[in-house]
Amino acid sequence: APTPSPPEPPPDPAESRISEARRHFELGIAHFDRKEWQAALVEFRSSRELAKTKGNTKNLAICLRKVGRFDEALDMFEALLREFPDLPPDDRELAQREISELLASVGTLEIRDVPPGARVSIDGIERGTTPLPGPVRLPAGTHTVRVVKDGALPFETRIDLAGRHAEILRPRPATLTQAGRLHVREKNGKHAEVFVDGARVGVTPWDGALAPGAHTISLRGEGVLGTPLTRVAIEVGKEIRLELAAVPLNSELDVSAEPASA
């Protein structure tokens, strides 16, 4: 009788991650050579998330600087020195020079005197809930700060931050005395982030108090899943239950501005 073939060994997850990291890195290099900084940035970040190397860390830092995200570039050059102590002299000199220059283009923002549990977003990017662990690094320029806490009106303001400057902000969200309630769930039971008026407020299923008036609601799930904007009208003392189906959003919009902080 013929001898059966031995079972094939299962694939090595570590090798698979390294192979995928290398694929993203090579795509990043192709974009980098064509000076397509945004696309290169995404590929190098994906490569680094799979396997941290000197190459993808340094290239990610360079791309972040090229697109004007100076605070993130500073963090990444510092990570390059911290995580890879055996850097070649040329790369070490590059990182030290970039850090010295970037420090002049980065300031900090500290949020004080806000009740615990308030969600803080800056320029549409969520930074955590109060109390924050410390000052937030930001590139010099104008920034929009939004603080949202259940039971209070959202607080939003714009700040002008200079390089090497430490700004302190003491938001005063007004108590919401008249409100309606909104319940949001994803139709198929998926977990998705809930955005109200462009700010992330939690994940599905979500329930919260909102000021009377019109609001825009959307969901964002894993990968490209999401929903278009949905408008709801909130009335005092009334509840609205909203069920949205997250579907693949196959189109993208990339907005570039000059200056990058606009």
pLDDT digit string, tens, across residues 219-244: 998 878 899 999 999 998 899 999 99
Which pLDDT score, from 0 to 100, does residue 21 have?
94
DSSP one-letter code for 181: E
CA distance 217 to 184: 9
Any alpha helices (H) in 67-162, and if so which ranges? 70-83, 89-103
| Amino acid 94: pLDDT | 95
| Among the listed residues 64, 2, 52, 62, the one whose alpha carbon sits nearest the alpha carbon of residue 24 | 52
Taking the model in full, what pTM does it have? Answer: 0.67
Q: What is the mean pLDDT of the chain?
A: 89
Q: Which of 62-71, 107-116, 250-259 has the lowest mean pLDDT?
A: 250-259
For the stretch 76-93, pLDDT in tens is 999 999 999 999 999 999
pLDDT (0 to 100) of residue 8: 61
